[in-house]
Amino acid sequence: MKTKVTPLTTDFYEPTMAYGYRKSRKLEAPASFDYFFRECPFGGEFAIFAGLADLIDFVRDFKFSDEDVEYLRTGPLVDCDSEFFEWLREVNFSSLKIYAIPEGSAVFPKVPPVRVDGPLVIAQLLETYLLSLLNFPSLVTTNAARYRLAAGNDMVLLEFGLRRAQDGMRASHYAWIGGFDGTSNVQAAKDLGISPRGTMAHSFVSSFSDFADLRTRMLRVKNGEEKDFLSSVLNWRERLGYRGTNEGELAAFVGYAQAFPQALLALVDTYDTLRSGVPNFICVALALREFGYAARGIRIDSGDLAYLSREAKRMFGEADAKAQIVFLTRLVIGVSNDINEKILWSLREQEHAITLMGIGTAIATCDPQPSFGGVYKLVSVAGKSKIKLSNDAGKVTIPGRKDAYRLIGEDGKAILDLMVEAGAPAPRVGERVLARHPFKETKRAYVTPASVMPLYELVWDEGRAVKLPSRNEVRERVKAQLALMREDHLRRVNPTPYKISVSNELYRYMHDLWQEEAPIAELR
Amino acid sequence: MKTKVTPLTTDFYEPTMAYGYRKSRKLEAPASFDYFFRECPFGGEFAIFAGLADLIDFVRDFKFSDEDVEYLRTGPLVDCDSEFFEWLREVNFSSLKIYAIPEGSAVFPKVPPVRVDGPLVIAQLLETYLLSLLNFPSLVTTNAARYRLAAGNDMVLLEFGLRRAQDGMRASHYAWIGGFDGTSNVQAAKDLGISPRGTMAHSFVSSFSDFADLRTRMLRVKNGEEKDFLSSVLNWRERLGYRGTNEGELAAFVGYAQAFPQALLALVDTYDTLRSGVPNFICVALALREFGYAARGIRIDSGDLAYLSREAKRMFGEADAKAQIVFLTRLVIGVSNDINEKILWSLREQEHAITLMGIGTAIATCDPQPSFGGVYKLVSVAGKSKIKLSNDAGKVTIPGRKDAYRLIGEDGKAILDLMVEAGAPAPRVGERVLARHPFKETKRAYVTPASVMPLYELVWDEGRAVKLPSRNEVRERVKAQLALMREDHLRRVNPTPYKISVSNELYRYMHDLWQEEAPIAELR
């Protein structure tokens, strides 16, 4: 998708470091940076990697405008040498090679989804752009995939979060990539090439007070002539014995049906779901049917959703029986009241009749975890591997340029990811390989893979984008990758951590480096 | 700020309702909508209203492009009459009047920050744009104000969240509005007219292995000639007796100081904060001082921030003493490791020497509450007040067009907000007025205000924007409004709810309307 990231949408330390590198270092050394994360979001044991196409689009188009450079030259970098601004005017990312795990793949802590190789100063400059273009898409896509796992494959999942989203465009886009069926966001639907979804708000319903608010009683019969639609609705109300329903609400459903006779999804909870909304909908739906049209169903936006959906379905059944048809019971029963992943799982355990869910705030903002902790760290410069030590053990990096492989077992499920030094031989099918936990000496295992997936593809080759799949292919990859994982890695409660590992050679190398770099405390 | 909201960045139900209104209703009735929220974010008892200038900018520029209309006509609204698309081509918001509480004001649940008056179909069409333009700005601004309250006025607060933000531009902009001092986001700083902040990442530090990586040993003395800077640094290291510090890190600080001799804020935790980073910084800062420059200070990005800041300050003091100066102890001690509001409060209770905080993810994404629950509800149409009933009592609205006043006590602090029917007489200074809880019959009080603030201003008058303050004025208003509140409303733990109320007349009116509209259950 098109993003609004400009060349100045970066942390100030990127241009200051660029100046610092150019002024102080002996040469523009070749470097490698890893993009990786330390913990999976949402308490899970997997993430879905997304945003790569946005990144490559940005990298391809990157250029500081004259205005950008003038701003830096006369503003925050006013003390810098003029040759730096000549350099800024020309700088681009054509000297980089970007390797990535395919977008839509399941990814795991410490196995970098992206490795960037290139001149230190250029690869560094990419940092903030890369992080801001990959982190949120990976978060939303992971979230959406979790919702799909929770809802099952038969539930229609729609994203309705634009009004409370922080970034509604990316939220809608990546919710669809992660497994949602649609969105209410018209611009996003247009961009994705899908139909936007939605029908009416409470205000539409409550704006009608009675039938006098209607422009006409009439509706054209499908492929026929105009007839008195309101009378047909009122006949059904009489016949079904519904009393005390809100007349304004009924007028609103009639009005909407007159405008969209093929697309009535009635919001039924403005006054009282079971006493007013559902009966009013049933009358209009049966009248529409007499006129040759099919209503879509109802949406419930408050109250006990499982209970109300069951009762609505029961009322549909009663009305079908009285009308001697099988029609209403096949319509959509949609719900949309602050649904989140936890509620989805809880609904699974209850009896309900819900067939469609509109999910808003929780998918669009990724509440309860609104950020993805992806970081971008230097792992090699001028041929030397670099390790970031830290007072926090969790922040230590795996040094050096690395390749990575996913080893698949005989059951077709992923066993573990294995990182090796870049250029080291790939693990081979049927051959035993020693896989070690990167930090815990005692954790290691031999693996004999039934198949081996090399994880990295070259996606940006010094100025040329390669191997970028379509949005649909990315969306399909999410499904295929989830199918590749054992269920216990994906489950919501206490999921089994997926093993990520390093080769014995890489293990030894990184621990030697740690010994070398870390200062030793002097206790007295 | 310029936002990326397009006319199609809306929920699909807005154009479908527009068509529904135009097809089915007798006339385009005058209507009023309220924008309000039901609960304050972050467990607090106040919010700061923001985003109004963005909304007015959007309203002023609004127009569907020919491409937008063609997309709707040939796509999702293909069954609609052609005259609707003629209407869409011309539709704009010039028939609306928008009343708002000034941007930057403290606002409270159920007292609408915005009221929109105008033709039903037009006022409805504004809904999603308004919500998506006001909700997130109000959330971030409120969050930033809470951080400022927690940090106190002397702490420098910088927003560093771009890399993990969902919408980094709005996050940076409204963090500043809410009370932050600056941001690392260059584009946002440019737009705000402030200096972007930041110096170096761990990768800069770790990219240097030793002094051989430096381009030169030299630095120009301020207003003088080049001298051997590295020797000066090493002399200080010798003199202060620092051993075992990481040489690559020292080289990086030297290199950065050579590029920015006036702006060294050294990141000191790449290898070991107290054994390597702080001693290395001290040597470079003292050498810079000999060359006529002042370093800025240090940033600590991991570990026990309070402890490390105290130790760094102690080491600064020791070095100052040995150098017989008072210099290092006055420099910045900055921290930046996943700081959130809770940690800010906790740091207040510890002894620490921190003078600057870089706050990232938590301010930019508004973790732990990434959404603001603002809603947009119809309250009046064709002269009739509308109430939205609901199975959830908390979702019931206060009906009708309303004015609102903030009543101030003799101590200069706000007592409560009072809503009255639009056009009803304003409460008067020194005159007793009955203020009632909108929903609880037993809660009421007489208030004699020492001063009265009318809350609404007309900000969009049928095509003309009026009374829009500058960004700086909005930022100053946030401070003034926080000063208007009693401290117990603002405190973090168990804040006292600020009273919001309705006049006796409005109370009676709304409860009569409820009785009229709500269906009565038939129990059998």
Beta strands in B101-194 (DSSP E): 106-107, 114-119, 156-159, 182-183
Interchain CB distance below 8 Å, B9 and A208: no
- Residue ending a domain, among A313, A341, A365, is A365
Number of domains in chain A: 2
Confidence of residue B26 (pLDDT cuts 50, 70, 90): confident
Do A467 and A504 have their domain in common? yes
Backbone Cα Rg of chain A: 29
In chain B, residues with a C-beta closer than 8 Å to the C-beta of A72 are 186
Q: How far is B268 from chain A (nearest CA, A)?
A: 10
Interchain CB distance below 8 Å, A170 and B169: no
- Residue ending a domain, among A365, A399, A424, is A365
Interchain CB distance below 8 Å, A373 and B190: no
- Residue ending a domain, among A323, A344, A365, is A365
Q: Inform me whether the pLDDT recorded for B446 exceeds 90.
A: yes
For range B512-524, the mean pLDDT? 78
Q: Is A82 helix (H, G, I), strand (E, B) or coil?
A: helix
Q: Are A103 and A469 in contact (CB under 8 A)?
A: yes
pLDDT of residue B506: 96
Interchain CB distance below 8 Å, B272 and A195: no
Q: pLDDT for B28-83, tens place per residue?
A: 689 999 999 999 999 999 999 999 999 999 999 999 999 999 999 999 999 999 99
* pLDDT > 70 fraction of chain B, expressed in percent and rounded: 98
Interchain CB distance below 8 Å, B200 and A17: yes
Cα gap B475→A3, rounded to integer Å: 28
β-pair partners for B386: none
Count of beta carbons in the 10 Å neighbourhood of residue A516:
8
In a domain, B161, yes or no: yes
For range B106-117, the mean pLDDT? 98
Closest residue, chain B, to A78 (C-alpha): B260
pLDDT of residue A523: 78
In chain A, residues with a C-beta closer than 8 Å to the C-beta of B364 are 371
Among A25, A369, A372, beta carbon nearest to B213 = A25
For the domain that residue A46 is a member of, what is the CATH number? 3.20.140.10
Q: Return all residues near A351 (Cβ < 8 A) that are at least 6 apart.
A: A306, A310
Q: How far is B235 from chain A (nearest CA, A)?
A: 20
In chain A, residues with a C-beta closer than 8 Å to the C-beta of B260 are 16, 19-20, 79
In chain B, residues with a C-beta closer than 8 Å to the C-beta of A369 are 367
Give me the torsion for CA of A332, A338, A339, A341, rounded to 10°: 160
ipTM of the complex: 0.96
Cα gap A218→A454, rounded to integer Å: 65
Choosing among B3, B6, B11, B262, which should be mutated to test the A contact, i.e. which has the most A CBs within 10 A?
B11
In a domain, A523, yes or no: no
Average pLDDT of the residues of chain B = 95
Q: Inform me whether the pLDDT recorded for B18 exceeds 70.
A: yes
Cα gap A389→A394, rounded to integer Å: 9
Cα gap B514→B439, rounded to integer Å: 11
Do A480 and A390 have their domain in common? yes
For residue A336, which of A144, A156, A143, A137 has the smallest C-alpha distance? A156
Count of beta carbons in the 10 Å neighbourhood of residue A73:
16
Interchain CB distance below 8 Å, A26 and B214: yes
In chain A, residues with a C-beta closer than 8 Å to the C-beta of B365 are 166, 370-371
Which amino acid, residue B198?
G
Interchain CB distance below 8 Å, A13 and B184: yes
Choosing among A391, A396, A517, A520, which should be mutated to test the B contact, i.e. which has the most B CBs within 10 A?
A391
Do A133 and A163 have their domain in common? no
In a domain, A446, yes or no: yes
Do A149 and A133 have their domain in common? no
Structure tokens at A429: 């099918």
Confidence of residue B391 (pLDDT cuts 50, 70, 90): low
Do A325 and A388 have their domain in common? no
Among B259, B370, B374, beta carbon nearest to A23 = B259
Cα gap A95→A114, rounded to integer Å: 16
Q: How far is B331 from chain A (nearest CA, A)?
A: 19
Q: How far is B188 from chain A (nearest CA, A)?
A: 8
In a domain, A299, yes or no: yes
Do A328 and A186 have their domain in common? yes
pLDDT of residue B387: 81
In chain B, residues with a C-beta closer than 8 Å to the C-beta of A162 are 9-11, 128, 131-132
Among A31, A209, A370, beta carbon nearest to B366 = A370
* pLDDT > 90 fraction of chain B, expressed in percent and rounded: 90
For the domain that residue B281 is a member of, what is the CATH number? 3.20.20.70
In a domain, A524, yes or no: no
Closest residue, chain B, to A374 (C-alpha): B164
Weakly modelled stretches of chain A, pLDDT under 70: 27-28, 390-394, 519
Do A358 and A381 have their domain in common? no
Q: Are B208 and B265 in contact (CB under 8 A)?
A: no
- Start-to-end C-alpha separation, chain B: 59
Cα gap A372→A384, rounded to integer Å: 29
pLDDT of residue B3: 75
In a domain, B280, yes or no: yes
Interchain CB distance below 8 Å, A171 and B170: no
Boundaries of domain holding A383: 13-142+369-517
Do A339 and A373 have their domain in common? no
pLDDT of residue A377: 95
Q: Return all residues near A362 (Cβ < 8 A) that are at least 6 apart.
A: A161, A338, A339, A340, A341
Q: For chains A and B, count residue pairs whose Cβ atoms are closer than 8 Å.
A: 381
Beta strands in A73-171 (DSSP E): 97-100, 106-107, 114-119, 156-159
Among B9, B163, B184, beta carbon nearest to A187 = B9
pLDDT of residue B393: 63
Do A160 and A305 have their domain in common? yes
In chain A, residues with a C-beta closer than 8 Å to the C-beta of B24 are 214-216, 254-256, 258-259
In a domain, B239, yes or no: yes
Q: pLDDT for B240-271, tens place per residue?
A: 999 889 999 999 999 999 999 999 999 999 98
Dihedral angle sign, alpha carbons of residues A465, A470, A473, A478: positive
Q: Are A115 and A402 in contact (CB under 8 A)?
A: yes
Do A149 and A265 have their domain in common? yes
Do A179 and A311 have their domain in common? yes
**What number of helices (H) and strands (E) belong to chain B?**
18, 22
In a domain, B438, yes or no: no
Q: Return all residues near A463 (Cβ < 8 A) that are at least 6 apart.
A: A93, A94
Q: Is B468 left (phi over 0), alpha (psi -120 to 50) or beta?
A: beta
Do A226 and A350 have their domain in common? yes
In chain A, residues with a C-beta closer than 8 Å to the C-beta of B29 are 207
Closest residue, chain B, to A375 (C-alpha): B163
